[in-house]
């Protein structure tokens, strides 16, 4: 109840006139411009036009959640060539030389390591892609099994640092081979003693430019976390990657869904790529390959397909990463990595046609993406 001490009835009427609106008003409409997606997009994967393999039955695949944005954030993926796919659940627990290499990388790059950087996350992944081999270790370890022979061995090149070469030749542990993505580099021979592994990280893995949050660090501290490209000359044969890379989680010891579906997808991709006249490379990667020009008449791209270890999201199997090299300049996805989930054999033809050849992202399968500037791609 309001009490008016001055003004009487006239004041009351004036106040009522002030508070009773004579007409309704509405806020004006604001047009918010739509931000176009960072890459060309199609909503759904086209239905296959030819026969494809059957998916395993009974797999518990989650199909309700929105998987866009489910890709883990990373700045570099170190893809280690092991020539096998029977890794233990945790790849660093492997008793082979591959496991020892992973342990060294993890000790230096991940939590508590000398080079840990929260703004430059590094993902360590094994692959079934065979490593670069040389006669030195092939003859020295000729009694090993075929699976062991496919691991990385020394590439003997003129100009190799004699001290490193002697140390490697006298070692019973073969060197490692690795792809770096999205840097699109391949390093065919990485000696696995601690000094060389540290030099490999400094030369190829660390960021070329630090995040601005590191400005508070001393110059010495900043230099520890920053790439030293002059060290790359120690790793002869290192080259740019010019082949398409299709990586499929097939880590059966970690999760049976990827373990069962991965090999089927691998065979399906091989078939569908070859139907598009894209040769699939199965031999070990070569060192110091000739630079590819996509502008020449009759250019034919090549591809590698590998099973890889755990990358997260097994419940969305099959998980597939497609890396399109920067040399494919006519492809809108050149220099990018595209992550897909819930991929079945029925999607492979569409991924090859629309993503690999046309450079379009399939929205219904999209988990995320990354470009060479380490920008995370979201739709």
**Each residue's pLDDT tens digit, 221-259:** 999 999 999 999 999 999 999 999 999 999 999 999 999
89-118 in b/e form (b: 16+ CB < 10 A) is eebbebebbbbbbbbbbbbbbeeeeebebe
Residue 155 has pLDDT above 60, yes or no: no
Please give the average per-residue pLDDT across 338-354, as a whole number. Answer: 98
The pair of structure tokens assigned to 158 is: 């003129």
Q: 185-190 and 176-181 as β-strands: parallel, antiparallel, unpaired?
A: antiparallel
Residue 83 has pLDDT above 80, yes or no: yes
Position 152 confidence tier, pLDDT thresholds 50, 70, 90 = very low
CA-closest candidate to residue 238, choices 214, 194, 203: 203
Count other Cβ atoms within 10 Å, centred on residue 41. 14
**Each residue's pLDDT tens digit, 190-226:** 999 999 999 999 999 999 999 999 999 999 999 999 9
336-350 in b/e form (b: 16+ CB < 10 A) is bbbbbbbbbbbbbbb
Q: Would you state the pLDDT for residue 168?
A: 46
Rg (CA), the chain: 27
Q: What separation in angstroms does the CA of 256 have from each of 56, 64, 253, 261?
A: 11, 20, 7, 8
Q: Which residues lie across from 322 on neighbouring strands?
A: 246, 338
Out of 153-157, 191-195, 263-267, least confident range: 153-157
C-alpha to C-alpha distance for 286 and 281, rounded to whole angstroms = 11
Tell me what the pLDDT averaged over the chain comes to: 85
**Each residue's pLDDT tens digit, 17-49:** 544 455 555 445 655 566 788 999 999 999 999
Residue 345 has pLDDT above 90, yes or no: yes
Residue 159 has pLDDT above 60, yes or no: no
Residue 328 has pLDDT above 80, yes or no: yes
Q: Which residues lie across from 306 on neighbouring strands?
A: 247
Q: Would you state the pLDDT for residue 33?
A: 60
Q: What separation in angstroms does the CA of 268 have from each of 54, 179, 257, 274, 368?
A: 10, 23, 17, 10, 23
The pair of structure tokens assigned to 57 is: 């039955």
Residue 316 has pLDDT above 70, yes or no: yes
Q: Which residues lie across from 308 on neighbouring strands?
A: 127, 249
DSSP 154-217: ----TT--HHHHHHHHT-SSPPEEEEEETTTEEEEEE--SHHHHHHHIIIIIS-SS--GGGGGS
Q: Would you state the pLDDT for residue 6?
A: 44
Query: What secondary structure letter does DSSP report for 229?
Result: G
Look at 346 and 13; give whichever has higher pLDDT.
Answer: 346
């Amino acid at each position: 109840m309001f009490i008016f001490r001055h003004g009487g009835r006239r004041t009351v009427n004036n106040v009522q006139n002030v508070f009773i609106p004579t007409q309704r008003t509405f806020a004006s409409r604001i047009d918010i411009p739509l931000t176009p997606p960072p890459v060309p997009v199609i909503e759904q994967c086209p239905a296959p036009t030819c026969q494809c393999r059957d998916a395993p039955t009974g797999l518990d695949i989650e199909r309700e959640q929105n998987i866009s944005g489910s890709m883990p954030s990373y700045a570099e993926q170190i893809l280690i060539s092991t020539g096998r796919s029977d890794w233990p659940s945790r790849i660093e627990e492997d008793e082979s030389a591959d496991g020892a290499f992973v342990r060294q990388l993890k000790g230096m790059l991940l939590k508590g390591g000398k080079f840990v950087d929260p703004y430059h996350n590094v993902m360590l992944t094994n692959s079934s892609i065979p490593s670069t081999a040389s006669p030195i270790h092939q003859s020295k370890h000729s009694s090993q099994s075929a699976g062991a022979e496919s691991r990385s061995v020394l590439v003997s090149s003129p100009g190799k640092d004699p001290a490193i070469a002697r140390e490697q030749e006298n070692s019973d542990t073969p060197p490692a081979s690795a792809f770096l993505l999205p840097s699109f580099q391949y390093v065919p021979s990485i000696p696995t003693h601690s000094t060389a592994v540290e030099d490999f990280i400094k030369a190829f893995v660390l960021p070329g430019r630090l995040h601005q949050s590191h400005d508070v660090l001393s110059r010495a501290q900043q230099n520890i976390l920053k790439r030293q490209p002059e060290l790359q000359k120690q790793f002869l044969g290192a080259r740019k990657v010019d082949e398409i890379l299709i990586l499929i989680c097939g880590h059966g010891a970690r999760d049976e869904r990827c373990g069962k579906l991965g090999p089927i997808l691998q065979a399906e991709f091989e078939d569908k790529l070859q139907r598009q006249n894209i040769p699939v490379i199965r031999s070990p990667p070569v060192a110091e390959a000739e630079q590819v020009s996509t502008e020449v008449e009759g250019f034919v791209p090549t591809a590698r397909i590998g099973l890889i270890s755990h990358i997260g999201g097994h419940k969305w199997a099959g998980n597939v990463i497609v890396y399109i090299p920067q040399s494919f300049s006519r492809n809108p996805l050149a220099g990018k990595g595209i992550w897909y989930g819930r991929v079945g054999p029925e999607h492979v033809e569409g991924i090859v046609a629309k993503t690999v050849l046309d450079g379009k992202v399939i929205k219904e399968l999209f988990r995320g993406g990354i470009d060479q500037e380490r920008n995370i791609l979201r739709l």
